[in-house]
Structure 1
Amino acid sequence: MKHVYRSKTAFVLAWVWVAFVAFNVWDLIVRYNGKASLVALAVLGALTALVYAVALRPATVLTEEGLVGRNPFRTTFLPWAAIEDVTVSHAITVQYGDERVLRLWTPMSSARERAKAQRRGTATERRGRFKTEPTLPRAEQAAVEAFAGKTHADWVGDQIRDRAESARRRGEEAAPARVSWSYDSIGVLVAAVVLVIAAIVIA
């Protein structure tokens, strides 16, 4: 089964930006006034290409075959058995063959999120003779305990670590990693640069 993890905040803000750009492009086309409109379109295009590369494209994908790390300009595929270690700080770092390291862009944990997770993992102090906290169903209580003190990045790191250990226990072969350039990001950035150069030349 395939699971895709992204930065929800970055993803939502990126689509808000895309909607903003779409409205402004329509407005600039309707009220086109020559060089100024062309320069504005070029700037919007360049910024949108950057937003796509750093906010929309990055994702951590868990598949049956292995881990796919989609960073702004590269995609790395690691078979589960090839993963040697996983550490989580503000980002997830995956170590594989010959001490090589893959740093995943998403999900990340901020200091604020980690502090909140630590507070969530601390037992609530009960005062007085009677319990005032509602009793959670068993399934919800198990979920709360599983996430206690952990950020989203910690949880995803655990999923990666568990799948890698399971693959090694099954005796799967540690096939080599595959790294490729993300031609979509490169393409939109090249198109944006061309648009900016054209606007400068014409202006």
Structure 2
Amino acid sequence: MTTPDHESPAPQPPVPALNDRIYRSPAGMAGGVLLLALMGWLGIDALVVGEGRVPWLALASLILGVPLVVAFTLRPAVYANEERLRVRNPFRVVVLPWGRVVSLRSGYSNEAVTADGDKYQLWAVPVSLRARKRASRKEARMQAEAAAGREGRRTRGSRGAFGGPSRGAVVPQVPEGPLRAETDKVMDELRHLHEAHEEAAGPAPQGPGEVTVRWAWEILGPAIAGAVLLVILVAVG
């Protein structure tokens, strides 16, 4: 039996796709589900028992309203991995290679700023000033309790025979680092991915890629159709 001079190389396993970290707004999704349920209940009731133009007006309102509710509540998401940031906003999908991102800013909204000066808001990671204040108050309270516990142990001499705390002493737990709101933690993770990419790329990154923006016609199309139908029905009277 003869053997070929050159054996064909063994097939290489496919390169696994980069795993995305997905960030959404739980409050927004919960609100969207409730709004859709309410709209469905009222709309179907009007379609079934309505008379005259009522069913048509209800149908046009559903065609217009359902895509808008989905766009602003269920649709927004942020997908991040080691190579790029993909932002799915209500009406657009923006792909931002980390090489084109200059900074991630947090003010009254969370934004990604590109090298061209363009700003893209992260709808799925909204800023909550109330959550920030709540985290700050909780951190201050825990720090005060820890300080009071240390002062109490010094004044009452609540240490055991071998230098450790006695059995009845309460040792307050102090958090490692400042407490942060959930959306601020998400921004910290995104900044960590950005910094890790910059360190891996070095001073002269190769092939940073281009920013791509795609309009969400799957949302805009039905919404525009519903708006046109509603205007026609109102105009016809």
Mapped to 2, the partners of 1:145 and 1:187 lie a distance apart of 49
Structure 1 residue 98: Cα displacement: 2.0
Q: Retained in 2: the 8 A contact 1:86–1:92?
A: yes
What is the 5 A alignment of 1:35-184?
35-122=53-140, 123-125=143-145, 126-127=148-149, 128-129=152-153, 130-131=169-170, 145=176, 148-171=178-201, 172-173=205-206, 174-184=208-218
Q: Residue deviations 1:115-174, cap 9 Å, x none?
A: 0121233324145443275x6xxxxx8xx536x332222212111111112112212532
Match of 1:13 among 11, 31, 39: 31
Aligned-partner residue type, residue 213 of structure 2? V
Aligned length: 194
Runs of 5+ unmatched residues, structure 2 = 1-18, 154-168
Question: 1:45-80 deviations in whole A, cap 9, x for unaligned?
Answer: 333232122222222111343101111221111112
Name stretches of at least 5 consecutive residues in structure 1 with no aligned partner.
136-140
So what's the TM-score if we normalise by structure 2?
A: 0.72
- The structure number with the bigger radius of gyration is 2
Distance 1:23 1:63 in 2: 40
Q: Which has the higher contact order (CA 8 A, sep 6+)?
A: 1
1:202: how far off? Answer: 5.0
Question: Identity of counterpart residues, as a percentage?
Answer: 27
Displacement of 1:188 in angstroms is 2.5
TM-score normalised by structure 1 residue count: 0.83
RMSD of aligned residue pairs (Cα, Å): 2.3
Report the equivalent of 2:163: none
One-letter amino acid of the counterpart of residue 46, structure 2: L
